[in-house]
Structure 1
Amino acid sequence: MAIPDQADAAERAPSPAVDRALTVLERLVAADEELTLTALAKATRIPLATCASIAYTLERRGYATRRVVGRSHFWRPTLRLYGLASQLVRKVDLSSVAQPEMRALADELSMPVHIGVLDGASVVYVAKAATAGFIQFDTYPGKVSPFNLTALGRAIAAYLPEEELEALLPRLVVGRGPGAGDSGPEAFRKLLKEVRSRGYAVEDEEEQAEVACVAAPFFDAEGLVAGSVGVTGFARDLRGRRRKQAAAGVLRVAAEVSRRLGCPPAALPQTKAVS
């Protein structure tokens, strides 16, 4: 984890004291081993006396602990932070985490916008921003679809750890739409490579005729893929310029969801700009 120059950070921070405390805590978490106060002060560029005061305060509040060896004190973080994070994760409601942005995108494209999460080998739709009009797509919170036949599922699968993806490959489903192609593991891996290259996934009349979808993944506080944001429309309306517009939109909303889930910007995959 990169530690900013303390002089610059303190100058910019509304509260230099809080900024320094968080810098110490972040360094303790990022360290691969216990740190002495001298090493901690040097790594954070914080004066030794100030660094010691912060470390003892963190210890008193339960966020750090130390091991004493002779005259040396070796510091490390505790799991108190994990407890806080767990509470926050339980309170995060993906069905409402980005509703204003989903609604704005649905209005912009005149197409419904969804959030999906992976459940086994299926994608579950957990949120929807619908559009007004007579025609309504059969996509609703609670709907379940094969992960490999939806852009939502492909966007997630492209960023899964290898062992998790490997477990899903025997469960690939053959599409019934006119655009369905090779459903084998090798072809699917090639498709996921394309998803990672452009940053978003596309499904075009593969699950069913006349329907297409574009989706982008979002990530949690640990930088792990947590779900995806997608747009569904008639295939004829999700081609060319309109597809690029939809792709830019889902990438924008997905980035906002990632931010709200606490994903560090540096952990987001680097993608090409949609042009």
Structure 2
Amino acid sequence: MAPHFVSYVKLISYMKRVLPKEGDVIMSDETTGADKSYSAPALEKGLDILESLAEKESAVSLRELAERLGKSKNEIFRMIHVLIARGYVQRDSDTDELTLSPKLFALGLRTPQSRTLLEIALPEMRTLAEAVNQAPHLVVLYRGRTVIIGSIPTNSDVTFNLHLGYGRVASEAASGRVIMAFQPEEKRALMLRDCQNHGAKPFDGVAINAILDGVRRQGHILGKSTDFLGITDICCPILNFDGDAVASIIVPHVDRVSDTDDLTQVLDAVKQTCERISQKL
């Protein structure tokens, strides 16, 4: 499974936190003396299935999913069929393996916080794309992974565009490093721990923090892509009122033999775009 939807399963996690669990007692607003106990085991089972699929980076069989959840295949069989029918899970017709559909990702983009960021950022990114003739991407972080939630294509004959939902382990990505660089010490440490939990290549904590400190001093990253040949990453943070990064904008600049672009000018354009978005946020 491509890691499209990991970022937006926080919606599911939130629902699990706020829904009462079996044995919880809820006071009725309309009664003063009677307690009621509510539980929703079927709903929790469905949320467990979605979260488990989101944590996997490849499709899984029904048997493997059941083992991960500590349940029998019969216990989750009907729930899987409902999730498929509602469009949250998709099944490969050849292998019967299961993955998440794009529906959760689409739901995540409809949350107020995501809408606000996108509503402010996309017009500015459109102006940026026209100015530098390259495709800017809006990136957020969730549980140690980067997730692209917005991008603007260009009319250039050659451009580099990553699809919405694409993500990498944050410690290995320029966009992720920029976001982590502009975090308080404790939050950065948690983010790096999440990176390790996602199976990132082992890294020295002192070394990676030194890299992030350098990014923070510079205020940006401008360098060869750590993932693709022929690409120069140009990335700056979008900051909140406290100076912490809530997102980043990265321009994967296509390096051409005949290219005469001054990348410092592209960097300045990205930086100014991020500053305007930060001010509006």
Q: TM-score, normalised by structure 2?
A: 0.52
Instruction: Give CA deviations for 1:70-113 in whole Å, capped at 9, x if unaligned.
Output: xxxxxxxxxxxxxxxxxx96484322312232112212211101
2:268 corresponds to 1:248: yes
The answer as to whether partners of 2:141 and 2:170 remain within 8 angstroms in 1 is: yes
Q: Which residue of 2 aligns with 1:143?
A: 166
Residue in structure 1 matched with residue 144 of structure 2 by the alignment: 121
Q: Structure 2: how far apart are the matches of 1:203 and 1:120?
A: 25
* Rounded Cα–Cα distance in structure 1 between residues aligned with 2:124 and 2:139: 15
Q: Which has the larger radius of gyration?
A: 1
Pair 1:194 & 2:206 matched: no
Q: Which residue does 2:250 correspond to in 1?
A: 230
* In 2: Cα distance, 1:243 partner to 1:185 partner: 31
CA distance in 2, matches of 1:252, 1:132: 22
Q: Could you tell me how far apart the structure 2 residues matched to 1:183 and 1:92 are?
A: 35
The runs of 4+ residues in structure 1 deviating greater than 6 Å are none
- Name the SS of the counterpart of 2:126 in structure 1: helix
What does residue range 93-108 of structure 1 map to in structure 2 within 5 Å? 93-108=116-131
Could you tell me the TM-score, scaled by structure 1's length?
A: 0.53
The alpha carbon displacement at 1:242 in A equals: 2.5
The one-letter code matched in structure 1 to 2:166 is K
1:126–1:240 distance in 2 versus 1, CA, 3 Å: same
Q: State how far apart, in whole Å, the 1-side matches of 2:133 and 2:238 are.
A: 22
Q: Residue 112 in 1 paired to residue 132 in 2?
A: no
> Aligned partners of 1:157, 1:248: CA distance in 2, in Å?
21
Q: Which has the higher contact order (CA 8 A, sep 6+)?
A: 2
How much does 1:213 deviate?
A: 1.2
The CA deviation string for residues 157-211 of structure 1, in whole angstroms up to 9 with x for no partner, is 101121222123343534xxxxxxx953332222212211121123413122222
In the aligned structure 1, how far is the partner of 2:223 from the partner of 2:187? Answer: 22
Q: Is the 8 A contact 1:158 1:196 kept in 2?
A: yes
Q: 1:183 to 1:249 in 2, by over 3 A?
A: farther
How far does residue 138 in structure 1 lie from its aligned partner after superposition? 4.2
Distance (whole Å) between structure 2 residues aligned to residue 149 and residue 163 of structure 1: 20
Specify every segment of 5 or more residues in structure 2 that has no aligned partner in the other structure, as ranges: 1-110
Residue 159 of structure 1: aligned partner: 182
CA displacement, residues 35-58 of structure 1 (integer Å, 9 cap, x when unaligned)? xxxxxxxxxxxxxxxxxxxxxxxx
How many aligned residue pairs are there?
Answer: 166
State the Cα distance separating 1:140 from its structure 2 match.
Answer: 2.1
Give, in whole Å, the separation in 1 of the partners of 2:185 and 2:222: 21
> Per the alignment, do residues 132 and 200 of structure 1 end up closer, same or farther by CA in structure 2, a change over 3 Å counting?
same
SS, match of residue 262 in structure 2: helix
**Aligned CA distance change for structure 1 residues 235 and 205 (closer, same or farther; 3 Å):** farther
What fraction of aligned residue pairs are identical, expressed as a percent?
Answer: 23
Gaps of 5+ in 1: 1-87, 175-181, 262-275
